[in-house]
Amino acid sequence: MKLIMTGVSGFIGHEALTQAISHPEITSIIALSRNALPITSPKLKTIIHSDFSSYPPSLVSQLEGASACIWMIGVKTLDLDVTRRTRLEYGTAAAQAFSSIPQPAGQTFKFVFVSGLVMVPDQNANTWFFGEARKLGGRVENVVIAMAQEKEKAHFDSFVVRPAMVLAKGRGALMNLIRMLPYTVGLEEAAAVLVDLAIHGSEKTIWENGDVRSRGGELLKDS
């Protein structure tokens, strides 16, 4: 399968790209990035893309044949304008553009959107801290989920993954103790779930941190 990935230079993104490259079911990867990547692979093609709010036909044509995207762009900031642009505008534009990629009969394009535990989908909720920024993050979750429910986009599925504290690789007494905390998830587990959703999809649309921990552990054990 052909996979689109964004945010691959980030913490989770780098691990997800590494796992995607090594996965036998993934034959081609297009990484949309503002900069060249240090990773090379016969499977990997990097397309330099500076404006993630726009997908001109010349770019979309290079994405034809792709059947999934793992979207991992997000900036940790309290600046509402930056949050609105990087999460809401970029995420919505990508979902709209990728939903237009034709799929074979009976297949769907899988849009795997990486969000976060603290985002607030309920736009009427009372929030105690950083409420507007968290609601913006939750709003784009609602948008990509709603797109998959539109009748005219029957070939488009979306999955929202909401990890909490993602822990770096490594073991030791302290790290093993931290891993026991309920609001943590290992980097490898999180990346494994993203790649698996891109390949196989799921009946579950929203993946909370506990779901990611459980399924990620299963995937790593099976592999």
- Which pLDDT value is given to residue 152? 66
151 vs 189 pLDDT, higher one: 189
- Which pLDDT value is given to residue 145? 94
The H or E element spanning position 192 is: helix 187-200
- Which pLDDT value is given to residue 186? 92
Backbone angles phi, psi at 82, to 5 degrees: -65, -45
What average pLDDT does the segment 1-25 reach?
A: 96
150 vs 195 pLDDT, higher one: 195
pLDDT-derived band at 175, boundaries 50, 70, 90: low
Q: Virtual CA dihedral for 128, 134, 136, 140, nearest 10 degrees?
A: -140
What DSSP character marks residue 61?
G
pLDDT reading at 117 higher than 70:
yes
pLDDT reading at 167 higher than 80:
yes
- Which pLDDT value is given to residue 106? 86
Low-confidence winner among 6-10, 13-17, 112-116, 133-137 (lowest mean pLDDT): 133-137
The three-point CA angle 49-168-52 to 5° equals 15
Q: Residue written as tokens 């893309």?
A: 49
Report the distance separating Cα 81 and Cα 113, nearest Å.
Answer: 20
pLDDT reading at 172 higher than 80:
no
pLDDT-derived band at 125, boundaries 50, 70, 90: confident
168 vs 6 pLDDT, higher one: 6
Backbone angles phi, psi at 195, to 5 degrees: -65, -40
- Residue 84, classified by CB atoms within 10 Å of its CB into exposed (0-12), middle (13-18) or buried (19+), is middle
Domains and CATH numbers, the chain: 2-222 (3.40.50.720)
Report the distance separating Cα 79 and Cα 32, nearest Å.
Answer: 24
Report the distance separating Cα 158 and Cα 214, nearest Å.
Answer: 20
What DSSP character marks residue 152?
G
145 is written with which tokens? 């989920």
pLDDT reading at 161 higher than 80:
yes
Report the distance separating Cα 145 and Cα 135, nearest Å.
Answer: 15
- Which pLDDT value is given to residue 4? 98
pLDDT-derived band at 77, boundaries 50, 70, 90: low
